[in-house]
Amino acid sequence: MRAIVVATLALLAAAPAARAQSYSASGQIGYLHEWEITGNLGKTAKRPGAEYSGTITLRHVGLCSVNGVEQKQARLQLKVFPGRLEGVLIMDEDQCRIVASGSSGSGQLTCGSGQDVPITLLIGKAVETEAADRARL
């Protein structure tokens, strides 16, 4: 029995490490695209669709930035289905619901105020994370 356990552990150690991947997230929020979204999201495959989550940066790029550029960190959780995506944008001061077309990434962001604001959100290609790069060395 012990020989089987040792052999199994040896096979697992010899197997190549699974590549950890993240997916780029980008987009805009607002009627005049005043907020820019950037970040990386981890993916979990679900049936149907997939789930993405991670930390993003919201950067105010509107013309009325009197005191310089405002920047916020937020948590993004998305469920992507064929033809649509739904999710939650979680910030310190608010939690917002996202409903958008999966093909174009355009939709509505509804926060605590109840007012819908346009959002465009795109999930990019997978990129290897630094941890996966270090594991291969």
Task: Quote the CA–CA distance of 34 and 43 in Å, as a whole number.
Answer: 27
What pTM was computed for the model?
0.73
How distant is the alpha carbon of residue 102 from its chain centre?
Answer: 14
The pLDDT value given to residue 104 = 81
Asked whether residue 14 is assigned to any structural domain, the reply reads no
Structure tokens at 59: 């950067």
Q: Decide if 25 is inside a domain.
A: yes
Does residue 7 lie in a domain region?
no
Q: How many domains does the chain have?
A: 1
Residue 3 lies in a domain: no
| Sequential pLDDT tens for the chain (137 residues) | 433 333 333 333 443 444 458 899 999 999 999 999 999 999 988 777 889 999 999 999 877 666 777 899 999 999 998 889 999 999 998 999 999 997 788 999 999 878 899 999 998 877 665 545 445 44
**CATH number for the domain harbouring residue 129:** 2.40.128.120
DSSP 117: E
Establish if 11 belongs to a structural domain. Answer: no
Residue 50: domain span: 21-136
**Domain assignment of residue 2, yes or no:** no
What is the Cα–Cα distance from 94 to 111, expressed in whole angstroms?
Answer: 7
Q: CA-CA distance, 94 to 31, in Å (whole number)?
A: 19
How many CA atoms does the CB half-sphere of 124 hold within 13 Å? 12
Q: What is the pLDDT of residue 98?
A: 96
Q: What is the pLDDT of residue 68?
A: 72
